[in-house]
Chain A
Amino acid sequence: MPAADLLSSQGLRLDGRRPNELRRIRCKLGVFTQPDGSAYLEQGNTKVLAAVYGPHQASKSKMSTEAVVVNCQYSMATFSTGERKNRPRGDRKSQEMSMHLRQALTAAIKTEMYPRSQIDIYIEVLQADGGTYCASVNAASLALIDAGIPLRAYVTACSASLGRRSATHEPLVDVSHIEEAADGVCLTVASLPSTGSIALLEMSNRLHMDHFNIVLTRAMQGCRDIEVILDGAVRQHLAEGWTKQDVITI
């Protein structure tokens, strides 16, 4: 059921955004030198680092002759949440997150191109303010592009919730921590926006069937908006790193 107090009478949300507004996204590619690809992404106050190693030789036990093995590790810094965490990784929640990340990223990576190889993706959440999964997928997507790993398309993730204003229901995009904690519904979608396919769909709390479509549509719209922002960042990164000599060698 949608929580009653997520929208004010003026139609603004708890942090002052309109229902269809994303939080500010700032990102940077190539933040580390050691991994093959890396990215930093800020979505409001949620801050995430992603590092990609590979594709490299897979260990014998994991090796597959058909496709590349994607290995994800999601970890939250002990100082990332309001209450200090005592296990940054390995707990149930992180394991589940790692699994879901792998599912979304494997959908985007052209896995059939690299048999007998392995790609390691490490995610570190520096500050958690709601939507850590979404920020992690977006950061990992950028890190994979930085590493030059072939992708079908951008994979982006976005969450959506439902608020009520007088008698009408209105979907809210990019749920923040206070909205998550207000016991509202939260629908998380990871998708490849340019093909329109969904890689992962997850919902917490119950939602009436009648409202499901508008919430899903809003989340998908959020994914498309995020793709535009990430695409801009990638193009800027390419323009900065491109020296004229490269063009001559063609």
Chain B
Amino acid sequence: MVSHHIIILVYEFVVHNSQLAKRELKKTLEMVSHVSIKLASERVNHSVASNNDPPRFYTPGEVITGIQDFMRGHGTYAEDDCLKASVAGVMQKVNKLICIRPLKSRYVGEIGDVVVGRVLEVQQKRWKVDTNSRLDSILQLSSVNLPGGELRRRSEEDEQMMRKHLQEGDLISAEVQNVFSDGSLSLHTRSLKYGKLSQGTLIKVFPSLIKRRKNHFHNLPCAVSVIIGNNGYIWISPHKSDILMEGNKDAIENYEIQPVGKSERETMARVKNCILALVASKMMLDDTSIMFAFEESLKYDNVKELLDPEAMLDVAFLTQHRINIIAEE
């Protein structure tokens, strides 16, 4: 709270000078009273790891083992009859295959993953989508459900109407259909749960924080639905009732342009800040951890308070504690 000392010093000095300046300064003091400036040495350490036995870490260039009876996987390379690490992280061993998994990296797709992405380009018969992957992903015109027709041939007109369906900058949820040999992904949205995302907020986190689960679409009890994309993009939107999901297209379109109420938006912001708190402490994200964090955050009345480093650490710590209790049972 260095700023306060300075202001108080200036304040005392000005009091002797003029009444006007005093009033001005009082106003400034009120304005900055909620601002907290911290020294770099007083920064909060977000780590909640219970470091009783940290695993063995490998760093680039470090020799893991001799090459004779092991296979090299991701994050390793062979040189001088040795298997060496090429990234910094922990070792994963499956029979003879050795991989080194880094703390964070770009998204590496697998078939069946749920992803959230942003349309970058509209091309002939396909869209280019940014999915936080090493190369841009592709969404073919033949792998989307077009409005109206259930199953029909894609005509010339559909090709010309592509921009009407998905425009540059639109956000979509999709599933990975195929991984090409160069690592780029082909997506599909051939299900009612996938497709264009309308109202909500997007958070980008690094993909290694997200667990692969059976279900990545969650309707949280706090009337907010969350799509936790495997690629580290998380979409938070107001809760949609199931009747609307199955209802006709017009009803859905009408519903999607309805303004979202203030309380709903506040809940969404709270969920977002909870996720940010978990990410700052590098905790894994799934529906349980998000919901625990949400419940722990309720003691902070104002959503804004959750952006304080102390509050973030507090929420993350309490969440970690509850997860540990579950793990013990």
Interface residues of A (CB under 8 A from B): 36-37, 54-57, 110, 114-117, 145-154, 192, 194-195, 231, 234-235, 237-247, 249-250
Contacts and interface: CB of A to CB of B under 8 A. Distances in A.
Interface of B: 45, 47-51, 54-55, 57, 59-61, 75, 77, 79, 84, 86-90, 92, 102-106, 134-136, 182-183, 208, 211, 281-284, 320, 323
B77 A241 contact: no
Given A116-B182, A151-B87, A238-B89, A244 B50 contact: yes
Contacts of B106: 36, 54-56, 148
Contact of B134 (A56, A195, A245): A56
- Nearest 6 pairs between A and B by C-beta? A153-B61, A148-B105, A148-B102, A150-B86, A151-B60, A194-B61
Contacts of B134: 54-57, 114, 117
A192 B61 contact: yes
A117 B45 CA distance: 35
Q: Is the interface of A mostly helix, strand, loop or mixed?
A: mixed
26 contacts: A56-B135, A110-B77, A114-B183, A115-B182, A116-B135, A117-B134, A148-B87, A148-B88, A148-B89, A149-B87, A150-B75, A153-B60, A194-B61, A235-B59, A237-B103, A238-B103, A239-B57, A240-B49, A241-B103, A242-B49, A243-B49, A243-B281, A244-B50, A246-B284, A249-B211, A250-B90
B75 to A, nearest CB: 7
A194 B79 CA distance: 12
B59 A57 contact: no
Contacts of B51: 239
B29 to A, nearest CB: 30
A239 B60 contact: no
A235 B135 CA distance: 29
A234 B47 contact: no
Contacts of B136: 57
Contacts of B283: 243, 245
B84 to A, nearest CB: 8
A26 to B, nearest CB: 12
Q: Report whether over half of chain B's contact residues are helix, strand or loop; otherwise say mixed.
A: loop
Contact of B57 (A114, A150, A235): A235
A154 B60 CA distance: 6
Given A115-B182, A238-B89, A246-B284, A148 B59 contact: no
A242 B183 CA distance: 27
B90 A151 contact: no
Contacts of A145: 59-60, 87-88
B36 to A, nearest CB: 20
Contacts of B92: 250
A115 B323 CA distance: 41
A148 to B, nearest CB: 3
Contacts of A146: 103-104
A247 B55 contact: yes
B49 A238 contact: no
Nearest to A110: B86
A235 B103 CA distance: 11
